Amino acid sequence: MEYSNLLIHNNDGIITLTINRPKALNALNQQTLNEIKHFFENTKNDTSIKGIILTGAGEKSFIAGADIKEFLSLDQGSGTQMAQNGHDIFFLIERFPKPVIAAVNGFALGGGCELAMACHMRIASPNAKFGQPEVNLGIIPGYGGTQRLIQLIGKGKAIELLMTADMINAEEALRLGLVNHVVAQEELIEKSSKIIATIATKAPVAIAKIVECVNAYYNNEPDGFMAEIAAFGRTAGTADFQEGAAAFIEKRKANFKGA
Protein backbone atom coordinates (compact mmCIF):
# COMPACT_ATOMS: atom_id res chain seq x y z
CA MET A 1 0.00 0.00 0.00
CA GLU A 2 1.28 3.46 -0.91
CA TYR A 3 0.79 5.87 1.97
CA SER A 4 -0.53 9.38 1.35
CA ASN A 5 -0.62 10.62 4.95
CA LEU A 6 2.19 8.70 6.65
CA LEU A 7 5.94 9.22 6.51
CA ILE A 8 8.13 6.28 7.52
CA HIS A 9 11.75 6.56 8.61
CA ASN A 10 13.76 3.50 9.62
CA ASN A 11 16.82 4.11 11.81
CA ASP A 12 18.37 0.69 12.43
CA GLY A 13 15.03 -0.93 13.18
CA ILE A 14 13.55 2.01 15.11
CA ILE A 15 10.67 3.23 12.96
CA THR A 16 9.46 6.81 13.15
CA LEU A 17 5.90 6.91 11.82
CA THR A 18 4.80 10.50 11.17
CA ILE A 19 1.20 11.53 10.59
CA ASN A 20 1.71 13.97 7.72
CA ARG A 21 -1.29 16.31 7.40
CA PRO A 22 0.22 19.51 8.81
CA LYS A 23 -2.28 21.84 7.10
CA ALA A 24 -5.05 20.02 8.99
CA LEU A 25 -2.94 19.86 12.19
CA ASN A 26 -2.59 16.14 11.39
CA ALA A 27 -6.29 15.47 12.05
CA LEU A 28 -7.26 11.82 11.71
CA ASN A 29 -9.42 11.22 8.66
CA GLN A 30 -10.48 7.76 7.53
CA GLN A 31 -7.69 7.57 4.93
CA THR A 32 -5.08 8.17 7.63
CA LEU A 33 -6.68 5.63 9.97
CA ASN A 34 -6.71 3.03 7.18
CA GLU A 35 -3.03 3.69 6.50
CA ILE A 36 -2.19 3.31 10.20
CA LYS A 37 -4.16 0.06 10.27
CA HIS A 38 -2.31 -1.29 7.22
CA PHE A 39 1.08 -0.35 8.67
CA PHE A 40 0.56 -2.04 12.03
CA GLU A 41 -1.09 -5.12 10.52
CA ASN A 42 1.83 -5.62 8.16
CA THR A 43 4.68 -5.00 10.62
CA LYS A 44 3.59 -6.88 13.76
CA ASN A 45 5.58 -9.98 12.73
CA ASP A 46 8.61 -8.13 11.36
CA THR A 47 11.50 -9.24 13.58
CA SER A 48 13.78 -6.48 12.24
CA ILE A 49 11.67 -3.82 13.95
CA LYS A 50 12.81 -2.78 17.43
CA GLY A 51 9.95 -0.38 18.08
CA ILE A 52 7.75 2.36 16.70
CA ILE A 53 7.78 6.10 17.41
CA LEU A 54 4.48 7.71 16.44
CA THR A 55 4.49 11.48 15.94
CA GLY A 56 2.93 14.31 13.94
CA ALA A 57 4.38 16.54 11.23
CA GLY A 58 5.37 20.06 12.22
CA GLU A 59 5.87 21.70 15.59
CA LYS A 60 2.28 22.65 16.49
CA SER A 61 0.38 19.41 16.56
CA PHE A 62 0.73 15.71 17.26
CA ILE A 63 -2.88 15.09 16.16
CA ALA A 64 -5.45 17.81 16.79
CA GLY A 65 -8.37 15.38 16.69
CA ALA A 66 -10.53 13.62 14.16
CA ASP A 67 -11.50 15.25 10.88
CA ILE A 68 -14.90 16.66 11.92
CA LYS A 69 -15.97 17.19 8.31
CA GLU A 70 -16.23 13.41 8.02
CA PHE A 71 -18.58 13.34 11.03
CA LEU A 72 -21.33 15.48 9.50
CA SER A 73 -23.18 12.56 7.88
CA LEU A 74 -23.00 10.23 10.88
CA ASP A 75 -26.06 8.59 12.37
CA GLN A 76 -26.32 5.89 15.03
CA GLY A 77 -25.43 3.04 12.67
CA SER A 78 -22.53 4.71 10.90
CA GLY A 79 -21.32 6.19 14.20
CA THR A 80 -21.17 2.74 15.76
CA GLN A 81 -19.29 1.43 12.71
CA MET A 82 -16.81 4.33 12.85
CA ALA A 83 -16.14 3.76 16.54
CA GLN A 84 -15.69 0.02 16.01
CA ASN A 85 -13.16 0.64 13.24
CA GLY A 86 -11.23 3.08 15.43
CA HIS A 87 -11.19 0.62 18.32
CA ASP A 88 -9.92 -2.16 16.06
CA ILE A 89 -7.06 0.02 14.83
CA PHE A 90 -6.08 1.33 18.26
CA PHE A 91 -6.14 -2.19 19.71
CA LEU A 92 -3.59 -3.15 17.01
CA ILE A 93 -1.30 -0.49 18.45
CA GLU A 94 -1.97 -1.31 22.10
CA ARG A 95 -1.32 -5.01 21.46
CA PHE A 96 1.72 -4.52 19.19
CA PRO A 97 4.48 -6.89 20.40
CA LYS A 98 7.22 -4.24 20.22
CA PRO A 99 7.27 -0.92 22.11
CA VAL A 100 5.18 1.87 20.59
CA ILE A 101 5.93 5.37 21.88
CA ALA A 102 3.89 8.48 21.11
CA ALA A 103 6.21 11.48 20.67
CA VAL A 104 3.65 14.21 21.35
CA ASN A 105 4.83 17.44 19.73
CA GLY A 106 1.88 19.78 20.33
CA PHE A 107 -1.88 19.30 20.37
CA ALA A 108 -3.13 15.79 21.20
CA LEU A 109 -6.87 16.30 21.25
CA GLY A 110 -9.83 13.99 20.73
CA GLY A 111 -8.74 11.12 18.52
CA GLY A 112 -5.15 12.35 18.83
CA CYS A 113 -5.22 11.97 22.60
CA GLU A 114 -6.86 8.57 22.17
CA LEU A 115 -4.16 7.48 19.72
CA ALA A 116 -1.42 8.63 22.11
CA MET A 117 -3.07 6.67 24.94
CA ALA A 118 -3.20 3.52 22.80
CA CYS A 119 0.60 3.66 22.55
CA HIS A 120 2.60 1.96 25.30
CA MET A 121 4.30 5.18 26.42
CA ARG A 122 4.05 8.90 25.79
CA ILE A 123 6.91 11.42 25.60
CA ALA A 124 5.76 15.05 25.39
CA SER A 125 7.31 18.35 24.43
CA PRO A 126 6.65 21.38 26.68
CA ASN A 127 4.07 22.77 24.22
CA ALA A 128 1.97 19.58 24.26
CA LYS A 129 -1.71 19.89 25.13
CA PHE A 130 -3.99 16.96 25.89
CA GLY A 131 -7.77 16.84 25.95
CA GLN A 132 -10.99 15.06 25.01
CA PRO A 133 -13.27 17.86 23.72
CA GLU A 134 -15.96 15.62 22.23
CA VAL A 135 -18.76 16.79 24.54
CA ASN A 136 -18.42 20.21 22.90
CA LEU A 137 -19.82 18.50 19.79
CA GLY A 138 -22.58 16.64 21.62
CA ILE A 139 -20.74 13.34 21.32
CA ILE A 140 -18.29 11.25 23.38
CA PRO A 141 -14.80 9.88 22.68
CA GLY A 142 -15.21 6.94 20.33
CA TYR A 143 -11.72 5.47 19.97
CA GLY A 144 -11.16 4.22 23.52
CA GLY A 145 -10.82 7.54 25.32
CA THR A 146 -13.35 6.86 28.08
CA GLN A 147 -11.49 3.68 29.01
CA ARG A 148 -7.79 4.46 28.57
CA LEU A 149 -7.91 7.89 30.23
CA ILE A 150 -9.29 6.28 33.40
CA GLN A 151 -6.66 3.55 33.23
CA LEU A 152 -3.86 6.10 33.01
CA ILE A 153 -4.93 8.88 35.41
CA GLY A 154 -7.77 7.47 37.52
CA LYS A 155 -11.53 7.90 37.57
CA GLY A 156 -11.89 11.24 39.34
CA LYS A 157 -9.64 13.37 37.14
CA ALA A 158 -10.55 11.43 33.99
CA ILE A 159 -14.27 12.01 34.37
CA GLU A 160 -13.62 15.71 35.04
CA LEU A 161 -11.62 16.08 31.83
CA LEU A 162 -14.14 14.04 29.83
CA MET A 163 -17.10 16.10 31.09
CA THR A 164 -15.52 19.57 30.96
CA ALA A 165 -13.50 19.10 27.74
CA ASP A 166 -10.66 21.00 29.46
CA MET A 167 -7.15 20.74 28.07
CA ILE A 168 -4.10 20.05 30.23
CA ASN A 169 -0.51 20.97 29.49
CA ALA A 170 2.53 18.71 29.40
CA GLU A 171 3.56 19.28 33.01
CA GLU A 172 0.07 18.50 34.30
CA ALA A 173 -0.04 15.42 32.08
CA LEU A 174 3.28 14.30 33.58
CA ARG A 175 2.01 14.88 37.12
CA LEU A 176 -1.13 12.87 36.43
CA GLY A 177 0.76 9.99 34.81
CA LEU A 178 -0.60 10.54 31.32
CA VAL A 179 2.94 11.02 29.96
CA ASN A 180 6.20 9.34 30.95
CA HIS A 181 8.62 12.20 30.24
CA VAL A 182 8.62 15.84 29.13
CA VAL A 183 11.62 16.87 27.02
CA ALA A 184 12.49 19.69 24.64
CA GLN A 185 10.75 19.28 21.31
CA GLU A 186 14.01 18.71 19.45
CA GLU A 187 14.81 15.84 21.86
CA LEU A 188 11.53 13.94 21.45
CA ILE A 189 12.71 11.44 18.86
CA GLU A 190 16.10 11.00 20.54
CA LYS A 191 14.53 10.27 23.94
CA SER A 192 12.00 7.87 22.42
CA SER A 193 14.75 6.13 20.44
CA LYS A 194 16.89 5.66 23.55
CA ILE A 195 14.03 3.96 25.38
CA ILE A 196 13.36 1.66 22.43
CA ALA A 197 17.08 0.88 22.09
CA THR A 198 17.20 -0.16 25.75
CA ILE A 199 14.15 -2.39 25.35
CA ALA A 200 15.70 -3.90 22.21
CA THR A 201 18.48 -5.37 24.38
CA LYS A 202 15.91 -7.51 26.21
CA ALA A 203 14.36 -10.84 25.16
CA PRO A 204 11.79 -10.21 22.37
CA VAL A 205 9.39 -12.92 23.55
CA ALA A 206 9.48 -11.54 27.09
CA ILE A 207 8.75 -8.02 25.81
CA ALA A 208 5.79 -9.28 23.78
CA LYS A 209 4.46 -11.11 26.85
CA ILE A 210 4.83 -7.96 28.98
CA VAL A 211 2.51 -6.19 26.53
CA GLU A 212 0.08 -9.12 26.61
CA CYS A 213 0.00 -9.40 30.40
CA VAL A 214 -0.29 -5.67 31.12
CA ASN A 215 -3.22 -5.44 28.69
CA ALA A 216 -4.81 -8.49 30.34
CA TYR A 217 -5.05 -6.58 33.62
CA TYR A 218 -7.75 -4.38 32.07
CA ASN A 219 -9.82 -7.15 30.50
CA ASN A 220 -12.73 -6.70 32.90
CA GLU A 221 -16.41 -7.51 32.50
CA PRO A 222 -18.59 -5.83 31.46
CA ASP A 223 -16.51 -4.66 28.52
CA GLY A 224 -16.22 -0.89 28.81
CA PHE A 225 -14.85 -0.61 25.29
CA MET A 226 -18.01 -2.20 23.83
CA ALA A 227 -20.10 0.12 26.00
CA GLU A 228 -18.22 3.08 24.52
CA ILE A 229 -18.83 1.89 20.95
CA ALA A 230 -22.58 1.61 21.59
CA ALA A 231 -22.68 4.98 23.37
CA PHE A 232 -20.73 6.72 20.59
CA GLY A 233 -23.24 5.36 18.07
CA ARG A 234 -26.12 6.57 20.23
CA THR A 235 -24.72 10.11 20.52
CA ALA A 236 -23.95 10.15 16.79
CA GLY A 237 -27.68 9.72 16.18
CA THR A 238 -28.71 12.81 18.18
CA ALA A 239 -29.75 16.24 16.99
CA ASP A 240 -27.31 17.68 19.53
CA PHE A 241 -24.44 16.04 17.69
CA GLN A 242 -25.57 17.45 14.34
CA GLU A 243 -25.75 20.89 15.98
CA GLY A 244 -22.38 20.47 17.70
CA ALA A 245 -20.58 19.37 14.54
CA ALA A 246 -22.18 22.14 12.48
CA ALA A 247 -21.25 24.74 15.11
CA PHE A 248 -17.65 23.52 15.07
CA ILE A 249 -17.41 23.83 11.29
CA GLU A 250 -19.14 27.22 11.34
CA LYS A 251 -16.98 28.45 14.24
CA ARG A 252 -19.88 29.39 16.51
CA LYS A 253 -21.20 28.33 19.91
CA ALA A 254 -23.40 25.23 19.85
CA ASN A 255 -27.03 25.48 20.99
CA PHE A 256 -27.76 22.05 22.48
CA LYS A 257 -31.37 20.95 23.09
CA GLY A 258 -30.82 17.63 24.89
CA ALA A 259 -32.09 15.44 22.08
pLDDT of residue 222: 66
Instruction: Give the closest residue to 172 by CA, choosing from 142, 152, 187, 143.
Output: 152
Whether domain 6-199 has CATH 3.40.50.11900: no
Out of 114, 221, 228, 243, which one is annotated catalytic?
A: 114
Confirm whether 134 is a catalytic residue.
yes
- 10-57, pLDDT tens digit by residue? 999 999 999 999 999 999 999 999 999 999 999 999 999 999 999 999
100-114 mean pLDDT: 98
Out of 2, 41, 59, 134, which one is annotated catalytic?
A: 134
Work out the angle between the directed axes of helices 76-94 and 224-236 (0-180°, nearest 10): 150
- 193-236, pLDDT tens digit by residue? 999 999 999 989 889 999 998 888 887 666 778 888 888 898 99
Q: Who has greater pLDDT, 66 or 15? A: 15
pLDDT of residue 120: 98
145-169 mean pLDDT: 98
Confirm whether 172 is a catalytic residue.
no
- Contact of 174 with 181, CB cutoff 8 Å: yes
Domain assignments of the chain as residue spans, ordered by start: 6-199
Burial classification of residue 50, based on how many CB atoms lie within 10 Å of its CB (0-12 exposed, 13-18 middle, 19 or more buried): buried
pLDDT of residue 157: 98
- Residue 148 pLDDT greater than 90, yes or no: yes
From its phi and psi, is residue 182 left (phi > 0), alpha (psi between -120 and 50) or beta? beta
